[in-house]
Chains A and B, each alone.
Chain A
Amino acid sequence: MGQIVIVGLNHRSAPVEIRERLAFPADTIGHALRGLAERDGISEGVIVSTCNRVEVCVLADEGYKGTQSVKDFLSAYHGMPLQELAAYLYHHTEEEAVRHLFRVSSSLDSMVLGEPQILGQVKDAYGYACEFRSIGPVLDKFFTKAFSVAKRVRTETKVANSAVSVSYAAVELAKKILGDLSDKTVMLIGAGEMCELAARHLLSAGAKGILVTNRTFERAVRLAEEFDGTPVRFEELPVHLKRADIILSSTGAPHFILKREDVEEVLRIRRNRPMFFIDMAVPRDIDPDANQIDNVYVYDIDDLNNVIETNLEERQREAARAEEIVIAEVTAFRRWLESQQVTPTIVSLRKKFEEIKEAEVAKALSVLGAQDPKTRKVVESLASSILNKVLHAPISSLKRESDGRSPSEMVAVVREIFDLPEEESGEGTEAPESAPGQGGRIGQ
């Protein structure tokens, strides 16, 4: 057994230049994981590396040394002097480390609170660690638990329940207005980074196709190619508008390019099939009065930002509830960790006494020269019952949560008093068949 240690840096502790330098690209992560797990005093290791954070999680024989060892590893691996590096790093041990990983995977520590990608990234990190066999039973249990905590947070709170980026909000709104997007057509008017991003999101959310128009037709053609869509001449916009269910607009036009009457006209042709206009242009492209027409919804950039704002506030409230879940889960996991520390000690304690008993019983029987089964039985049960009664007190105090003393202290005391052999902490770690994951590639 050892202590869980996490050393890391994130978007708050380090600027992007540093995060870039300390990232672990996926193609070399195996090398890094092996380097990490080979260090003295470290028996298991997992590396989470995303554009916003690097978290190196290890099982170390001892917390302080483990922390130092991981810091040395980071410095050596990335060729960055430790003095320079240290300012950007944070480290957590034991319960704090548990809490940290639970919060990270539940997206409570993310730049955008509740964003959904982080859990997948942590899962990837776990997958790599399994593949390269740098993970053992303790971290395996730890990460698996972190995933289930993240799932609990997701289902029991609304922290990941709402759109917090403009393009994501656009997709959510489109779904609520138009339902299934798979038979809906998007139209992109003009070009703008945000519009293109929203278009991409809508397409990946299942929208059927995209029409692209631009004042310069060549530009429209180019963009249409990029989106696998159809270019449309700007002058023909009124003709093609009726085909579009979702209209994304960001032209540099000084006036409205679509007036309320235009929209009314199109809607008549469409027999009132709903239209969703997303106007990202400033000054605006689409007459906001069109929003008053039945089955027409016009959102400008401020409206979208308001939606996001409300969602963010809700997330903050939900985050507080999520933190409570994390706290409860940390306590539960700590109990498990403690039981992990205590069990091997109890086993070796028993083993030692059993051996003594066996030896002494054999000696006594040979002195007695007793052959009849009854004498043998009496001697054996005498020895067993003395053994059980003697061991009862130390074992139950090991199992009990003693006030003031941590289980690891108790374990140390018991081991010292009874002179138990040095703990075989690596038992599970070294046996490959007990390691999780089916990667099975060593030393590639």
Chain B
Amino acid sequence: MHVALLKATTAFYLVGALLYLYFVFTLNERSARIGRMLLMIGVALHGVAFVARYFVAGYTPITSLFESLSFFAFAIVGVFLAFEMQYNLRVLGAFVAPLAFFFSVSAAFLPGEVRTLAPALNSYWLPVHVMLLFVGNAVFAVAFGAGIMYLLMEKELKRKRIGAIFKRLPSLNVLDDINYRCLTIGFPLLTLGIITGSIWAEYAWGSYWSWDPKEVWSLITWLLYAALLHGRLTVGWRGRKAAILAIVGFCAILFTFLGVNLLLPGLHTYSNLSG
């Protein structure tokens, strides 16, 4: 049942994302409203599917690549909807919703059957560690979207060619605000995610830190965001610089998540293309 639900969810994300894109081009308000409604239905179904799979599998379904991609999409849509409500920023949907669809549909191409859980993963730390990180990553995905929007808008304002982008995107100030807000939410989540992982590693592998590729890349990601937060707070980094760092930071997240899984085998290799 949960597999069919996930397929339906992906369809909702697709149509929702398309409607947001249509909104950006035509500024047709209704299309954004319907888009949001579809994403809401999608995320609700996704939640149901997640719970259903939990009961079928007997563990929190965030262990294989299929499950993590799917959960990432879920978290992105959820976080996006929260931000959209707060900032009433429909355009953001055109930048973030396709991302969620992309992860959701990539999951659909992977083997999705329920497996027996590797013994090391059978722990209460699993949901805590992984969910903290994925929700944090989803927040950074929103910052990534806002960063791209910032750069587009800034370029148009600097070049003084006022056109389509100027009309559609919100003010630079709002976009920079989102950047900061995401940082203050995402960074603690990321930090806690790494700390819980480290504690769990001590239980499971007997060492807090073993320089496994995933750990190394998490650290790189963490340092990037730490630098951004530090720069913002001490020397007043903002705007363009902050937007670029948010984009670079999210690329690091993607590499930590996908690149490491697929290219750099290590202790964390529970989820690659074969499962």
- Tell me, rounded to whole Å, the shortest Cβ–Cβ distance linking A425 to chain B: 42
Q: How distant is the Cα of A311 from the Cα of B161 in the complex, in angstroms?
A: 11
Cβ of B239 and Cβ of A272 under 8 Å apart? Answer: yes
* 11 A-B pairs (CB sep. < 8 Å): A177-B157, A179-B174, A179-B177, A180-B173, A270-B236, A272-B238, A294-B240, A295-B238, A299-B160, A310-B161, A311-B162
On whether the beta carbons of B173 and A179 are closer than 8 Å, the reply is yes
* Chain A residue with Cβ nearest B158: A291
Q: Is the CB of B162 within 8 A of A307?
A: yes
* The 5 residue pairs across chains A and B that have the minimum distance between CB atoms: A179-B173, A271-B236, A179-B171, A272-B236, A303-B160
B163 cross-chain contacts in A, Cβ below 8 A: 310
Q: Is B237 an interface residue (CB 8 A)?
A: yes
Question: Does B157 contact A297, Cβ atoms closer than 8 Å?
Answer: yes
Kindly state the interface size class of chain B when it binds its partner: 20 to 34
Q: How far is the CB of B233 from chain A (nearest CB, A)?
A: 10
Q: Which of B19-36 contact A (CB under 8 A)?
A: 27
| B102 in the interface (beta carbon within 8 A) | no
| Also in contact, A162 and B167, with CB within 8 A (given A294-B240, A297-B158, A299-B160) | yes
B241 within 8 Å of A (CB atoms): yes
B172 adjacent to A179 (CB under 8 Å): yes
Does A274 belong to the interface (CB within 8 Å)? yes
- Assembled-state Cα–Cα distance A271/B232 (Å): 9
| CB-nearest residue of chain B to A303 | B160
Given A274-B173, A303-B160, verify A294-B239 contact (CB < 8 Å): yes
- Distance of A234 Cα from B163 Cα, bound (Å): 37
Which residues of chain A from 237 to 293 have a CB within 8 Å of any chain B CB? 270-274, 291-292
A306 proximal to B (CB < 8 A) = yes
Chain B residues near A (Cβ < 8 Å):
27, 153, 157-158, 160-163, 166-167, 169-174, 177, 235-241
Closest CB of chain A to B169's CB: distance in Å?
8
**1/0 per position for A150-190, CB-CB distance to B under 8 A?**
00000000100110000000000101111110000000000
- Alpha-carbon distance A297/B240, docked complex (angstroms): 13
| Chain A residues, CB < 8 A from B158 | 291-292, 297
Which chain B residue has the least Cβ–Cβ distance from A302? B160
Q: Which partner residue on chain A sits nearest B241 by CB separation?
A: A294
- Interface mask (A302-318 → B, CB under 8 Å = 1, otherwise 0): 01001100110000000
Measured CB to CB, the closest approach of chain A to B164, in angstroms, equals 10
Cβ–Cβ < 8 Å partners of B235 in chain A: 271
Closest Cβ neighbor of B240 among chain A residues? A294
A306 pairs with B237, CB closer than 8 A: no
Q: Is the CB of B172 within 8 A of A272?
A: no
Across the interface, do B240 and A177 meet the contact criterion of CB distance under 8 Å?
A: no
A273 proximity list for chain B (CB < 8 A): 236, 238
B153, B163, B169: most-surrounded residue (chain A CB, <10 A): B163
Min CB distance B24 to A, Å, is 14
Q: Give the interface centre of B160, B170, B237, B238 by most chain A CB atoms within 10 Å.
A: B160
Residues of B within 8 A of A299 (CB): 160
Nearest chain A CB to B172's CB is how many angstroms away?
6
One of B167, B169, B237 near A161 (C-beta < 8 A): B167
| Closest Cβ–Cβ distance, residue B239 to chain A (whole Å) | 5
CB-based contact A178/B173 at 8 Å: yes
Interchain CB contact (< 8 A) of B160 among A158, A180, A307, A311: A307
Q: How far is the CA of A429 from the CA of B42 in the complex (A)?
A: 56
Looking at the assembled complex, report how far the CB atom of A191 sits from the nearest CB atom of chain B, in whole angstroms: 25
Contacts of A310 in B (CB 8 A): 161-163
Please tell me if the beta carbons of A295 and B240 are within 8 angstroms of each other in the complex: yes
Q: Are A176 and B153 in contact (CB under 8 A)?
A: yes
CB-CB contacts below 8 Å: A301-352 with B: 303, 306-307, 310-311
- B237 surroundings in chain A (CB, below 8 A): 272
Alpha-carbon separation in the docked complex, A175 to B239 (Å):
15
Q: Is the CB of A175 within 8 A of B238?
A: no
The residue on B at minimum CB distance from A176 is B171
Known: A179-B177, A180-B171, A295-B239; 13 extra A-B contacts, CB below 8 A, are: A173-B162, A176-B172, A179-B171, A179-B172, A179-B173, A180-B173, A291-B158, A294-B239, A297-B157, A303-B160, A306-B160, A307-B160, A310-B161
Q: Is the CB of A274 within 8 A of B166?
A: no
B-side contacts of A272, CB under 8 Å: 236-239
B residues near A177, Cβ cutoff 8 Å: 157, 171-173
Greatest chain A CB density within 10 A among B163, B236, B237 is at B236
CB distance from B177 to the nearest CB of A (A): 8
Q: Are A176 and B236 in contact (CB under 8 A)?
A: no
The answer for the CA separation of A368 and B27 in the assembled complex, in Å, is 76
